[in-house]
Homo-oligomer: A and B are copies of this chain.
Amino acid sequence: MSTETAPAETGFVQPEVDVPALKRVLDGKYAAVRDLVRDNLVDHQQVLEEAETLDAEAFRERVKDIVLSLAATGQTGMGFPEEYGGGADIGASVAAFETMAYGDLSVLVKVGVQFGLFGGAILQLGTQRHHEAYLADLISGRTVGCFAMTETGHGSNVQALGTVATYDVEAQEFVITTPDDASRKDYIGNAARHADVAVVFAQLEIAGHSEGVHAFVVPLREGGQLLPGVRIEDCGRKIGLNGVDNGRIWFDQVRVPRTALLNEFADVTPAGVYESAIENPNRRFFTMLGTLVQGRVCVGGAGINAAKVAMAVAIKYAGHRRQFEATEGAGEQLLLDYGMHQRRLLPLLARTYALHCAQEVVAGELHDVFSGITGDEESRRSLESRAAGTKALGTWHATTTIQECREACGGAGYLSVNRFDALRADTDVFTTFEGDNHVLLQLVAKGLLTDYSSEFSDLDQLGMVRFVAGLAVDTVIEKTNAHKLLERLRDVLPGGDQWDQEAGLLDGNYQMAMFEFREEHLIGGVARRLKRGIDNKMDPGEVFSRVQDHVIAAARAHVERLVLDAFLAKFRGMEEGHNKVALGLLVDLYALSEIERDRAWFMEHGRLTTQRSKAITREIGDLCRKLRPIAEDLVDAFDIPDAMLRAEIIGD
């Protein structure tokens, strides 16, 4: 009833989705890898139930066993060099990881710890001696490792870590020490039970002089027994991911040989001379960290794919669950025929598709940069920024979507069997780990403000304020001069200076123009505010504190523009036909929903009349009605194996 639009009225013909073809579009280049992972997920489907039935210890062991058996299929080693048993395809490794998010997320995260964090650190920060010593064994799972960076007192601010590695020139050894409880390593996956070895981040001290944070390979256990000087405590029960054994580590004068330093970017000679090709310590540090960007790309993708599972359950449920009579004699109405229910779910579905496309772009950039296809500094900076932003938006999207889908399934959604329990609990920390989302957005903003001319990953906020106060701010203000943007828009949009009133709401160029205008205006605004504060001799901390919400808003606007860009590019690249029409509806719904969400800002800044704002809201209602008949097809195109949906409530 509410689902048909008369073609005569608008020229719109309701598309019929070719699901397998749309799946191919979504799976893209790595379709075969994704299908391998789907098969592996089905092979281990029992783990979804075991997450509920096994006790914590048994479940940890079970997850470890699955990770080892996945390693044997090659699924988890795709990003490593072939000579050590890897697949030498970074893009494939990201695709494999993302797709794993359809299944149990403790398995996913344990894979991330072993092959992404630990393996990635050995590969990227180590040199041949480390690769030869560890890679083959860690790829096969014979050696289990952990990534000991975060400390209780130091999360986002890695440069302030307290663990110390002192070089003992006599013994040619580093002595690793935890000076206080704030410096104990914390939340470290694999530490509580399974790790044989850790990559430990510590302040390197040579002859009383600190060289900043470096990474060292430190054995933790032999034959399952802790080595002398290593103390480990279990982090205990967590909101989710209880199949991962997170622990706390203290080091008491633990000695490792000089060669334990992962020395790709810096080394210490036997005589105790510090050497590095990168002179600036800050730059050196963030170059090291920058090589670990793959973790962020993977977590963002995992969040987006976990959201797909929630969407599939909620939309399928709403497609057969009836409640209340709404039309006389028609019996109870399907939930998905209610306007409010469409409004709750379908914009989230559109955003899931949008983020999928954005994720494809960032994964592609990662592949290109780390495969040496594009190796320049600018590509790296762009990748780091995009990875940070996509991770933040993708993981927040997971949190929001899973919650809304749970509520949309009512009491049934509260039963663990219907998937939302694990999805919610396990993904919750995604917004925090691999970089707190707010901190990541600050990084993105910093890159925009400084035009990537400072170290992107330099987290020091003081530095940010100082930097902006100096030379760059005028450049930023000049660069973000809305005037130039508006001139350009005149060429692509009808209406001349009135483009924001004349262009069609469903014109992709109009949508993009709105996103671009907002981004540029916000970035310029942040620069001006920071400069004004400094010029008024305000305390830099105070300046930053007061501008912080604008900083976050500017970064978010930038990332949303990247998302729309990716989504529009995907849409425009499709061959004509029903699937393209369907994707076009999703693009419009994503773009207009985002403009609607922030319509107050657009009105405040003169880019949206109140009439047009209301028209956008109406258009969103129309788009929802057009998408309603194909909503189930659109989640089917995610090709989530039935066993992964599990949900009793969508059974027939």
Hey, which bits of chain A sit against chain B, CB under 8 A?
1-2, 52, 55, 150, 155-157, 160, 186-187, 235-239, 323-328, 330, 332-333, 337-340, 343, 399, 403, 406-407, 410-411, 413-417, 420-421, 424-425, 428-429, 431-433, 436-438, 459-462, 539-542, 544-549, 551-552, 599-600, 603-606, 610, 613-614, 621
Would you mind naming 10 contact pairs between A and B with Cβ atoms under 8 Å apart? A52-B236, A186-B411, A326-B545, A328-B540, A339-B546, A340-B552, A410-B432, A413-B432, A424-B428, A605-B610
Q: Is A326 in contact with B160, judged by CB distance below 8 angstroms? A: no
Q: Is B542 in contact with A1, judged by CB distance below 8 angstroms? A: yes
A416 and B429 alpha carbons, distance in the complex (Å): 12
Chain B positions within 8 Å of A424 at CB level: 239, 428
Q: Is A459 in contact with B324, judged by CB distance below 8 angstroms? A: yes
Chain B positions within 8 Å of A614 at CB level: 604
- A611 CB, nearest partner CB in chain B, Å: 9
- A649 CB, nearest partner CB in chain B, Å: 9
A327 and B325 alpha carbons, distance in the complex (Å): 62
Of all chain B residues, which has the CB nearest A620? Answer: B549
Q: Is B541 in contact with A1, judged by CB distance below 8 angstroms? A: yes
A169 and B269 alpha carbons, distance in the complex (Å): 100
Most buried by B among A52, A55, A411: A411
Q: Is A338 in contact with B604, judged by CB distance below 8 angstroms? A: no
A549 and B417 alpha carbons, distance in the complex (Å): 30
A421 and B337 alpha carbons, distance in the complex (Å): 35
Most buried by B among A157, A326, A407: A326
Chain B positions within 8 Å of A157 at CB level: 323-324, 332
Q: Is B407 in contact with A547, judged by CB distance below 8 angstroms? A: no
Q: Is A326 in contact with B410, judged by CB distance below 8 angstroms? A: no
Q: Is A410 in contact with B541, judged by CB distance below 8 angstroms? A: no
How many copies the complex holds: the figure is: 2
Chain B positions within 8 Å of A549 at CB level: 339-340, 343, 621
Q: Is B542 in contact with A325, judged by CB distance below 8 angstroms? A: no
Chain B positions within 8 Å of A407 at CB level: 431-432, 437
Q: Is A325 in contact with B411, judged by CB distance below 8 angstroms? A: no
Q: Is B604 in contact with A340, judged by CB distance below 8 angstroms? A: no
Say which residue of B55, B323, B417, B545 sits within 8 Å of A55 (CB atoms): B55
Q: Is B436 in contact with A414, judged by CB distance below 8 angstroms? A: no
Say which residue of B52, B328, B343, B429 sits within 8 Å of A414 (CB atoms): B429
- A300 CB, nearest partner CB in chain B, Å: 16
Q: Is B415 in contact with A238, judged by CB distance below 8 angstroms? A: yes
A399 and B411 alpha carbons, distance in the complex (Å): 15
Q: Is A327 in contact with B539, judged by CB distance below 8 angstroms? A: yes
Q: Is A339 in contact with B432, judged by CB distance below 8 angstroms? A: no
Q: Is B237 in contact with A461, judged by CB distance below 8 angstroms? A: no
Of all chain B residues, which has the CB nearest A605? Answer: B610
Q: Is B155 in contact with A238, judged by CB distance below 8 angstroms? A: no
Chain B positions within 8 Å of A539 at CB level: 1, 327
Given the contacts A338-B545, A339-B547, A546-B2, A406 and B428 also touching, CB distance less than 8 Å: yes
Q: Is B417 in contact with A433, judged by CB distance below 8 angstroms? A: no
A429 and B411 alpha carbons, distance in the complex (Å): 7
Q: Is A461 in contact with B332, judged by CB distance below 8 angstroms? A: no
A238 and B610 alpha carbons, distance in the complex (Å): 45
Given the contacts A545-B326, A545-B339, A600-B603, A414 and B238 also touching, CB distance less than 8 Å: yes
- A521 CB, nearest partner CB in chain B, Å: 13
Q: 5 shortest A-B CB distances, which residue pairs?
A: A327-B541, A326-B541, A600-B600, A237-B416, A339-B545
Q: Is B2 in contact with A327, judged by CB distance below 8 angstroms? A: no
Given the contacts A416-B236, A438-B340, A541-B333, A433 and B462 also touching, CB distance less than 8 Å: no
